[in-house]
Amino acid sequence: MPERRAVRLSVAPRWAARACARTPAWLGILAIYVTARLITTAMLIGATGLSGAPGSRFGPHATIASFVSGWDAQWYWYIAVYGYPSVLPLSADGHVTQNSWAFLPVYPWIAQAVSLPFGGLWPIGAVIVSLVAGYLCCLVLFRMMRGRIGRLAAIWTVVFFAAGPLGALFQVGYAEVLNMLFLLLALDALSRRRYVRLYPLILLMAFTRPGELAFALMLGLMLVVRWIHRRQDPLRGREIAHYLCLGALGAVAGFAWQVIAGIVTGVPNAYMETELSWRGFWMPGGGHAAFMPFEGWLTAMPYWASLLGLPGWTGLVVLAMLVAASAWALIAGPGVRRLGPEIRLFSASYVLYLLAVFFPQSSTMRLLFPLAPLWGAVGWRRSWWFRGIVLALCLALQWVWISNVYGMANTFWRVP
Protein backbone atom coordinates (compact mmCIF):
# COMPACT_ATOMS: atom_id res chain seq x y z
CA MET A 1 0.00 0.00 0.00
CA PRO A 2 2.70 2.57 0.87
CA GLU A 3 4.53 1.71 -2.36
CA ARG A 4 1.37 2.22 -4.46
CA ARG A 5 0.76 5.60 -2.80
CA ALA A 6 4.34 6.65 -3.49
CA VAL A 7 3.88 5.81 -7.16
CA ARG A 8 0.69 7.85 -7.33
CA LEU A 9 2.38 10.84 -5.71
CA SER A 10 5.25 10.66 -8.17
CA VAL A 11 2.96 10.28 -11.18
CA ALA A 12 0.61 13.16 -10.31
CA PRO A 13 3.13 15.94 -11.05
CA ARG A 14 3.84 14.33 -14.42
CA TRP A 15 0.17 14.47 -15.31
CA ALA A 16 0.05 18.07 -14.17
CA ALA A 17 3.12 18.87 -16.26
CA ARG A 18 1.62 17.15 -19.30
CA ALA A 19 -1.67 19.00 -18.85
CA CYS A 20 0.24 22.27 -18.65
CA ALA A 21 2.25 21.39 -21.75
CA ARG A 22 -0.93 20.51 -23.68
CA THR A 23 -2.66 23.76 -22.74
CA PRO A 24 -2.43 26.22 -25.63
CA ALA A 25 -0.10 29.09 -24.76
CA TRP A 26 -2.73 31.71 -25.53
CA LEU A 27 -5.20 30.08 -23.14
CA GLY A 28 -2.75 29.69 -20.28
CA ILE A 29 -1.56 33.27 -20.64
CA LEU A 30 -5.17 34.45 -20.79
CA ALA A 31 -5.83 32.72 -17.47
CA ILE A 32 -2.79 34.40 -15.93
CA TYR A 33 -3.76 37.78 -17.32
CA VAL A 34 -7.40 37.60 -16.23
CA THR A 35 -6.37 36.53 -12.73
CA ALA A 36 -3.95 39.43 -12.49
CA ARG A 37 -6.60 41.86 -13.67
CA LEU A 38 -9.11 40.59 -11.12
CA ILE A 39 -6.56 41.13 -8.36
CA THR A 40 -5.89 44.64 -9.61
CA THR A 41 -9.63 45.32 -9.76
CA ALA A 42 -9.96 44.27 -6.13
CA MET A 43 -7.15 46.66 -5.23
CA LEU A 44 -8.81 49.50 -7.11
CA ILE A 45 -12.06 48.81 -5.27
CA GLY A 46 -10.14 48.85 -2.01
CA ALA A 47 -8.57 52.17 -2.99
CA THR A 48 -12.01 53.75 -3.42
CA GLY A 49 -12.46 53.29 0.31
CA LEU A 50 -9.30 55.27 0.99
CA SER A 51 -10.38 58.20 -1.16
CA GLY A 52 -11.89 61.10 0.70
CA ALA A 53 -8.90 61.93 2.85
CA PRO A 54 -8.27 65.69 3.19
CA GLY A 55 -7.21 66.97 -0.20
CA SER A 56 -7.93 63.71 -2.00
CA ARG A 57 -8.12 64.22 -5.75
CA PHE A 58 -11.04 61.84 -6.27
CA GLY A 59 -13.15 62.74 -3.23
CA PRO A 60 -15.21 60.56 -0.87
CA HIS A 61 -17.38 59.07 -3.62
CA ALA A 62 -14.60 57.75 -5.86
CA THR A 63 -15.27 54.75 -8.09
CA ILE A 64 -13.16 52.66 -10.43
CA ALA A 65 -14.56 54.80 -13.24
CA SER A 66 -13.07 57.84 -11.48
CA PHE A 67 -9.66 56.18 -11.45
CA VAL A 68 -9.88 55.01 -15.06
CA SER A 69 -10.37 58.56 -16.31
CA GLY A 70 -8.17 60.28 -13.72
CA TRP A 71 -4.79 61.97 -13.88
CA ASP A 72 -3.20 61.83 -17.38
CA ALA A 73 -6.26 60.02 -18.73
CA GLN A 74 -8.08 63.35 -18.52
CA TRP A 75 -5.57 64.86 -20.94
CA TYR A 76 -5.99 61.98 -23.38
CA TRP A 77 -9.75 62.34 -23.12
CA TYR A 78 -9.46 66.06 -23.85
CA ILE A 79 -7.28 65.33 -26.91
CA ALA A 80 -9.83 62.83 -28.25
CA VAL A 81 -12.61 65.38 -27.96
CA TYR A 82 -10.97 68.75 -28.61
CA GLY A 83 -7.58 68.03 -30.17
CA TYR A 84 -4.58 70.28 -29.53
CA PRO A 85 -4.56 74.05 -28.92
CA SER A 86 -3.18 76.37 -31.56
CA VAL A 87 -2.55 79.00 -28.88
CA LEU A 88 -0.48 77.98 -25.86
CA PRO A 89 -1.92 78.85 -22.43
CA LEU A 90 0.26 81.26 -20.46
CA SER A 91 0.58 82.00 -16.77
CA ALA A 92 0.43 85.48 -15.31
CA ASP A 93 4.22 85.78 -15.59
CA GLY A 94 4.15 84.79 -19.28
CA HIS A 95 5.35 81.19 -19.01
CA VAL A 96 3.70 78.31 -20.84
CA THR A 97 1.40 76.32 -18.54
CA GLN A 98 0.35 72.68 -18.71
CA ASN A 99 -1.49 71.71 -21.88
CA SER A 100 -2.23 68.73 -24.10
CA TRP A 101 0.88 69.09 -26.32
CA ALA A 102 2.74 67.02 -23.71
CA PHE A 103 0.68 63.97 -24.75
CA LEU A 104 0.88 62.11 -28.05
CA PRO A 105 -2.19 61.30 -30.19
CA VAL A 106 -2.19 57.59 -31.13
CA TYR A 107 -3.66 56.25 -27.88
CA PRO A 108 -6.49 58.78 -27.41
CA TRP A 109 -7.52 58.52 -31.05
CA ILE A 110 -7.59 54.71 -31.04
CA ALA A 111 -9.52 54.75 -27.76
CA GLN A 112 -11.99 57.21 -29.26
CA ALA A 113 -12.55 54.95 -32.27
CA VAL A 114 -13.07 51.92 -30.02
CA SER A 115 -15.56 53.87 -27.89
CA LEU A 116 -17.90 54.62 -30.80
CA PRO A 117 -19.99 51.42 -30.42
CA PHE A 118 -20.41 52.39 -26.74
CA GLY A 119 -21.94 55.77 -27.43
CA GLY A 120 -18.60 57.54 -27.74
CA LEU A 121 -17.82 57.10 -24.04
CA TRP A 122 -14.05 57.56 -24.22
CA PRO A 123 -13.18 55.94 -20.85
CA ILE A 124 -14.76 52.66 -22.01
CA GLY A 125 -12.72 52.71 -25.20
CA ALA A 126 -9.59 53.58 -23.22
CA VAL A 127 -10.02 50.63 -20.85
CA ILE A 128 -10.68 48.23 -23.72
CA VAL A 129 -7.56 49.39 -25.57
CA SER A 130 -5.39 49.06 -22.45
CA LEU A 131 -6.81 45.66 -21.51
CA VAL A 132 -6.50 44.16 -25.00
CA ALA A 133 -3.05 45.66 -25.56
CA GLY A 134 -1.94 44.23 -22.21
CA TYR A 135 -3.00 40.71 -23.14
CA LEU A 136 -1.28 40.99 -26.51
CA CYS A 137 1.84 42.23 -24.70
CA CYS A 138 1.80 39.06 -22.60
CA LEU A 139 1.57 36.89 -25.71
CA VAL A 140 4.47 38.66 -27.43
CA LEU A 141 6.55 38.67 -24.26
CA PHE A 142 6.01 34.92 -23.83
CA ARG A 143 7.02 34.31 -27.44
CA MET A 144 10.16 36.38 -27.00
CA MET A 145 11.22 34.72 -23.76
CA ARG A 146 10.38 31.12 -24.58
CA GLY A 147 13.31 30.75 -26.97
CA ARG A 148 15.69 32.58 -24.63
CA ILE A 149 14.99 31.21 -21.16
CA GLY A 150 12.57 28.30 -21.66
CA ARG A 151 8.81 27.84 -21.48
CA LEU A 152 8.37 27.76 -17.69
CA ALA A 153 10.61 30.78 -17.12
CA ALA A 154 8.75 32.61 -19.90
CA ILE A 155 5.46 31.91 -18.11
CA TRP A 156 6.84 33.34 -14.89
CA THR A 157 8.05 36.39 -16.80
CA VAL A 158 4.48 36.95 -17.95
CA VAL A 159 3.22 36.50 -14.38
CA PHE A 160 5.59 39.17 -13.05
CA PHE A 161 4.75 41.48 -15.94
CA ALA A 162 0.97 41.13 -15.59
CA ALA A 163 0.94 41.32 -11.78
CA GLY A 164 3.80 43.79 -11.37
CA PRO A 165 3.87 46.98 -9.31
CA LEU A 166 2.37 48.94 -12.24
CA GLY A 167 -0.45 46.49 -12.88
CA ALA A 168 -3.03 49.27 -12.71
CA LEU A 169 -1.75 50.64 -16.03
CA PHE A 170 -3.47 47.73 -17.78
CA GLN A 171 -6.85 49.05 -16.62
CA VAL A 172 -6.70 52.84 -16.80
CA GLY A 173 -6.60 55.45 -19.55
CA TYR A 174 -2.83 55.65 -19.93
CA ALA A 175 -0.84 55.07 -23.14
CA GLU A 176 1.96 53.01 -21.57
CA VAL A 177 0.53 49.57 -22.31
CA LEU A 178 -0.25 50.29 -25.95
CA ASN A 179 3.24 51.69 -26.39
CA MET A 180 4.65 48.58 -24.70
CA LEU A 181 2.86 46.43 -27.28
CA PHE A 182 4.50 48.34 -30.13
CA LEU A 183 7.87 48.13 -28.36
CA LEU A 184 7.68 44.38 -27.76
CA LEU A 185 6.60 43.77 -31.35
CA ALA A 186 9.54 45.89 -32.53
CA LEU A 187 12.07 44.09 -30.32
CA ASP A 188 10.71 40.73 -31.44
CA ALA A 189 10.85 41.74 -35.10
CA LEU A 190 14.42 42.97 -34.73
CA SER A 191 15.56 39.77 -33.03
CA ARG A 192 13.97 37.75 -35.84
CA ARG A 193 15.44 40.16 -38.41
CA ARG A 194 12.09 41.09 -39.87
CA TYR A 195 13.23 44.62 -40.59
CA VAL A 196 10.30 45.69 -42.77
CA ARG A 197 7.93 45.31 -39.80
CA LEU A 198 9.92 47.89 -37.88
CA TYR A 199 9.11 50.87 -40.10
CA PRO A 200 5.43 51.25 -39.09
CA LEU A 201 6.17 50.23 -35.50
CA ILE A 202 8.74 53.01 -35.10
CA LEU A 203 6.21 55.56 -36.30
CA LEU A 204 3.54 54.21 -33.96
CA MET A 205 5.90 54.37 -30.98
CA ALA A 206 6.99 57.89 -31.86
CA PHE A 207 3.39 59.15 -31.68
CA THR A 208 2.21 57.09 -28.71
CA ARG A 209 4.68 57.82 -25.90
CA PRO A 210 7.89 59.86 -25.58
CA GLY A 211 11.02 57.71 -25.57
CA GLU A 212 11.18 56.39 -29.13
CA LEU A 213 14.60 58.03 -29.47
CA ALA A 214 15.93 55.32 -27.16
CA PHE A 215 14.90 52.72 -29.75
CA ALA A 216 16.72 54.68 -32.46
CA LEU A 217 19.86 54.73 -30.30
CA MET A 218 19.53 51.00 -29.72
CA LEU A 219 19.46 50.41 -33.49
CA GLY A 220 22.76 52.25 -33.84
CA LEU A 221 24.30 50.22 -31.03
CA MET A 222 22.98 47.00 -32.55
CA LEU A 223 24.64 47.85 -35.86
CA VAL A 224 27.95 48.32 -34.04
CA VAL A 225 27.53 44.98 -32.22
CA ARG A 226 26.60 43.18 -35.43
CA TRP A 227 29.62 44.70 -37.17
CA ILE A 228 31.98 43.58 -34.39
CA HIS A 229 30.64 40.02 -34.60
CA ARG A 230 30.24 39.91 -38.38
CA ARG A 231 32.58 36.90 -38.71
CA GLN A 232 30.47 34.76 -36.39
CA ASP A 233 27.19 36.33 -37.56
CA PRO A 234 27.51 37.63 -41.14
CA LEU A 235 26.17 41.16 -41.65
CA ARG A 236 24.87 41.63 -45.17
CA GLY A 237 24.76 44.93 -46.99
CA ARG A 238 20.97 44.77 -47.10
CA GLU A 239 20.86 44.56 -43.31
CA ILE A 240 23.21 47.52 -42.96
CA ALA A 241 20.90 49.54 -45.20
CA HIS A 242 17.91 48.62 -43.03
CA TYR A 243 19.73 49.59 -39.84
CA LEU A 244 20.72 52.96 -41.29
CA CYS A 245 17.26 53.69 -42.69
CA LEU A 246 15.49 52.59 -39.52
CA GLY A 247 17.87 54.60 -37.35
CA ALA A 248 17.30 57.70 -39.48
CA LEU A 249 13.53 57.18 -39.39
CA GLY A 250 13.66 56.75 -35.62
CA ALA A 251 15.65 59.95 -35.15
CA VAL A 252 13.34 61.98 -37.41
CA ALA A 253 10.18 60.52 -35.87
CA GLY A 254 11.54 61.07 -32.36
CA PHE A 255 11.76 64.82 -32.95
CA ALA A 256 8.72 65.12 -35.24
CA TRP A 257 6.21 65.96 -32.49
CA GLN A 258 8.30 68.90 -31.35
CA VAL A 259 8.31 70.23 -34.92
CA ILE A 260 4.56 69.70 -35.29
CA ALA A 261 3.83 71.49 -32.02
CA GLY A 262 6.02 74.38 -33.11
CA ILE A 263 4.31 74.70 -36.49
CA VAL A 264 0.75 74.52 -35.13
CA THR A 265 1.32 76.98 -32.26
CA GLY A 266 3.85 79.24 -33.94
CA VAL A 267 6.19 78.75 -30.95
CA PRO A 268 9.31 76.79 -32.00
CA ASN A 269 9.92 75.34 -28.52
CA ALA A 270 6.24 74.81 -27.67
CA TYR A 271 6.68 71.15 -26.76
CA MET A 272 9.74 71.71 -24.59
CA GLU A 273 8.13 74.63 -22.77
CA THR A 274 5.05 72.50 -22.17
CA GLU A 275 7.10 69.66 -20.70
CA LEU A 276 9.05 72.05 -18.48
CA SER A 277 5.80 73.45 -17.09
CA TRP A 278 5.27 70.19 -15.18
CA ARG A 279 8.42 70.80 -13.14
CA GLY A 280 6.72 73.68 -11.37
CA PHE A 281 5.04 71.27 -8.95
CA TRP A 282 8.38 70.16 -7.55
CA MET A 283 10.96 72.89 -8.07
CA PRO A 284 11.23 76.37 -6.55
CA GLY A 285 10.67 79.05 -9.17
CA GLY A 286 8.28 76.89 -11.18
CA GLY A 287 10.92 74.93 -13.08
CA HIS A 288 11.13 77.47 -15.90
CA ALA A 289 14.88 77.16 -16.47
CA ALA A 290 16.02 76.24 -19.98
CA PHE A 291 16.36 72.55 -20.72
CA MET A 292 19.84 71.05 -20.55
CA PRO A 293 20.56 67.33 -21.08
CA PHE A 294 21.13 65.45 -17.79
CA GLU A 295 20.42 68.63 -15.81
CA GLY A 296 17.13 67.28 -14.44
CA TRP A 297 18.71 64.54 -12.34
CA LEU A 298 21.64 66.69 -11.22
CA THR A 299 19.19 69.31 -9.99
CA ALA A 300 16.50 67.06 -8.58
CA MET A 301 18.57 64.59 -6.55
CA PRO A 302 20.05 67.25 -4.22
CA TYR A 303 16.59 68.83 -4.00
CA TRP A 304 14.94 65.57 -2.92
CA ALA A 305 17.77 64.93 -0.45
CA SER A 306 17.20 68.35 1.12
CA LEU A 307 13.47 67.60 1.55
CA LEU A 308 14.50 64.53 3.56
CA GLY A 309 16.76 66.66 5.74
CA LEU A 310 19.96 65.33 4.15
CA PRO A 311 22.87 67.24 2.62
CA GLY A 312 22.41 67.84 -1.10
CA TRP A 313 25.53 65.89 -2.03
CA THR A 314 23.99 62.68 -0.69
CA GLY A 315 21.47 62.84 -3.52
CA LEU A 316 24.30 62.90 -6.04
CA VAL A 317 25.93 59.93 -4.32
CA VAL A 318 22.67 58.00 -4.57
CA LEU A 319 22.43 58.93 -8.25
CA ALA A 320 25.97 57.66 -8.90
CA MET A 321 25.14 54.41 -7.10
CA LEU A 322 21.96 53.95 -9.14
CA VAL A 323 23.80 54.52 -12.42
CA ALA A 324 26.56 52.09 -11.41
CA ALA A 325 24.04 49.45 -10.32
CA SER A 326 22.08 49.81 -13.57
CA ALA A 327 25.24 49.47 -15.65
CA TRP A 328 26.30 46.36 -13.75
CA ALA A 329 22.84 44.78 -14.04
CA LEU A 330 22.72 45.29 -17.82
CA ILE A 331 26.30 44.15 -18.42
CA ALA A 332 26.80 41.30 -15.98
CA GLY A 333 23.53 40.82 -14.09
CA PRO A 334 22.42 37.20 -13.57
CA GLY A 335 20.00 36.20 -16.28
CA VAL A 336 20.16 39.48 -18.19
CA ARG A 337 22.72 38.19 -20.69
CA ARG A 338 20.29 35.42 -21.66
CA LEU A 339 17.72 37.98 -22.86
CA GLY A 340 19.69 38.84 -25.98
CA PRO A 341 21.43 42.01 -27.19
CA GLU A 342 18.24 43.70 -28.37
CA ILE A 343 16.64 43.82 -24.92
CA ARG A 344 19.89 44.66 -23.14
CA LEU A 345 20.84 47.46 -25.54
CA PHE A 346 17.34 48.92 -25.56
CA SER A 347 17.27 48.90 -21.76
CA ALA A 348 20.62 50.67 -21.63
CA SER A 349 19.49 53.19 -24.26
CA TYR A 350 16.25 53.88 -22.42
CA VAL A 351 18.02 54.40 -19.10
CA LEU A 352 20.38 56.83 -20.83
CA TYR A 353 17.37 58.58 -22.38
CA LEU A 354 15.74 59.01 -18.96
CA LEU A 355 18.97 60.35 -17.50
CA ALA A 356 19.23 62.86 -20.34
CA VAL A 357 15.68 64.25 -20.46
CA PHE A 358 13.72 63.27 -17.35
CA PHE A 359 13.25 65.15 -14.10
CA PRO A 360 12.88 62.49 -11.36
CA GLN A 361 9.68 62.89 -9.38
CA SER A 362 6.64 60.86 -8.41
CA SER A 363 6.15 59.49 -11.95
CA THR A 364 9.60 57.88 -12.04
CA MET A 365 8.24 54.41 -11.31
CA ARG A 366 5.76 54.65 -14.19
CA LEU A 367 8.47 55.90 -16.54
CA LEU A 368 10.39 52.66 -15.90
CA PHE A 369 7.59 50.58 -17.45
CA PRO A 370 9.37 50.16 -20.85
CA LEU A 371 12.07 48.18 -19.01
CA ALA A 372 9.50 45.41 -18.40
CA PRO A 373 11.27 42.87 -20.71
CA LEU A 374 13.94 42.67 -18.01
CA TRP A 375 11.44 40.63 -15.98
CA GLY A 376 12.86 37.75 -17.99
CA ALA A 377 16.03 37.94 -15.90
CA VAL A 378 13.88 37.38 -12.80
CA GLY A 379 11.66 34.69 -14.30
CA TRP A 380 14.78 32.78 -15.35
CA ARG A 381 15.60 31.97 -11.72
CA ARG A 382 14.48 28.38 -11.05
CA SER A 383 13.91 28.68 -7.32
CA TRP A 384 10.21 28.39 -6.51
CA TRP A 385 10.55 30.23 -3.22
CA PHE A 386 12.40 33.06 -4.97
CA ARG A 387 9.63 33.35 -7.56
CA GLY A 388 7.00 33.28 -4.83
CA ILE A 389 8.70 36.08 -2.90
CA VAL A 390 9.04 38.19 -6.06
CA LEU A 391 5.36 37.71 -6.89
CA ALA A 392 4.36 38.67 -3.35
CA LEU A 393 6.52 41.80 -3.57
CA CYS A 394 4.98 42.67 -6.95
CA LEU A 395 1.48 42.53 -5.53
CA ALA A 396 2.45 44.40 -2.37
CA LEU A 397 4.09 47.19 -4.37
CA GLN A 398 1.10 47.30 -6.69
CA TRP A 399 -1.15 47.95 -3.72
CA VAL A 400 1.22 50.60 -2.39
CA TRP A 401 1.15 52.36 -5.78
CA ILE A 402 -2.62 52.12 -6.24
CA SER A 403 -3.48 53.13 -2.67
CA ASN A 404 -1.23 56.17 -2.84
CA VAL A 405 -1.81 57.59 -6.33
CA TYR A 406 -5.50 56.67 -6.64
CA GLY A 407 -6.76 56.05 -3.11
CA MET A 408 -5.21 58.90 -1.14
CA ALA A 409 -3.84 61.09 -3.97
CA ASN A 410 -3.59 64.09 -1.67
CA THR A 411 -0.04 65.39 -1.97
CA PHE A 412 2.57 66.15 -4.60
CA TRP A 413 4.42 62.83 -4.31
CA ARG A 414 1.19 60.84 -4.84
CA VAL A 415 0.97 61.57 -8.56
CA PRO A 416 1.27 58.58 -10.95
Q: pLDDT tens, position by position, for the chain (416 residues)?
A: 444 443 333 333 455 456 666 778 889 999 999 999 999 999 999 999 998 877 788 988 899 999 999 999 999 999 999 999 999 999 888 889 999 999 999 999 999 999 999 999 999 999 999 999 999 999 999 999 999 999 999 999 999 999 999 999 999 999 999 999 999 999 999 999 999 999 999 999 999 999 999 999 999 999 999 999 999 999 999 999 999 999 999 999 999 999 999 999 999 999 999 998 887 767 655 556 678 899 889 989 998 899 889 999 999 999 999 999 999 999 888 889 999 999 999 999 999 999 999 999 889 999 999 999 999 999 998 888 999 999 999 999 999 999 999 999 888 788 89
Residue in 138, 128, 134 with CA at minimum distance from that of residue 68: 128
Domains of the chain: which residue ranges? 29-408
DSSP conformation class of 58: S
Separation of alpha carbons 213 and 342, rounded Å? 15
Asked if 270 contacts 262 with a C-beta cutoff of 8 angstroms, the reply is yes
Is residue 73 within 8 A of residue 126, CB to CB? The reply is yes
First to last CA, the chain: 60
Whole-prediction pTM: 0.93
CA atoms within 13 A on the CB side of 304: 17
Can you spell out the DSSP letters for 209-227? STTHHHHHHHHHHHHHHHH
Q: DSSP of 111-167, one letter per residue?
A: HHHHHGGGTT-HHHHHHHHHHHHHHHHHHHHHHHHHHHH-HHHHHHHHHHHHTSTTG
